Amino acid sequence: MAVHTENEVIADSNPELVNPYRSVAADVEGVIAQLRCHENPEEGFMQIAQLDVAA
């Protein structure tokens, strides 16, 4: 069971985890709008899965 307080901090040294969280926290509607541009699930997933995001 999770307990939430007003002063929670989410921290991680991995920007691939932190940056999406910050984007959603700052502008959830903007993130949703961007995600709607990628609504072709199979083709879009395969293209993204083949990307080397660490490069």
* pLDDT tens, position by position, 21-38: 899 999 999 999 998 887
Indicate the burial class of 31 (C-beta count within 10 angstroms; 0-12, 13-18, 19 or more): middle
Q: How far apart are CA 5 and CA 39, in angstroms?
A: 35
Q: How far apart are CA 28 and CA 36, in angstroms?
A: 12
Mean per-residue pLDDT over the chain, rounded: 81
Q: Is residue 2 pLDDT above 70, yes or no? A: no
> What is the pTM (predicted TM-score) of this model?
0.53
Find out whether 31 and 23 touch, Cβ atoms under 8 Å. Answer: yes
Residue 9: closest CA among 51, 1, 18, 27 = 18
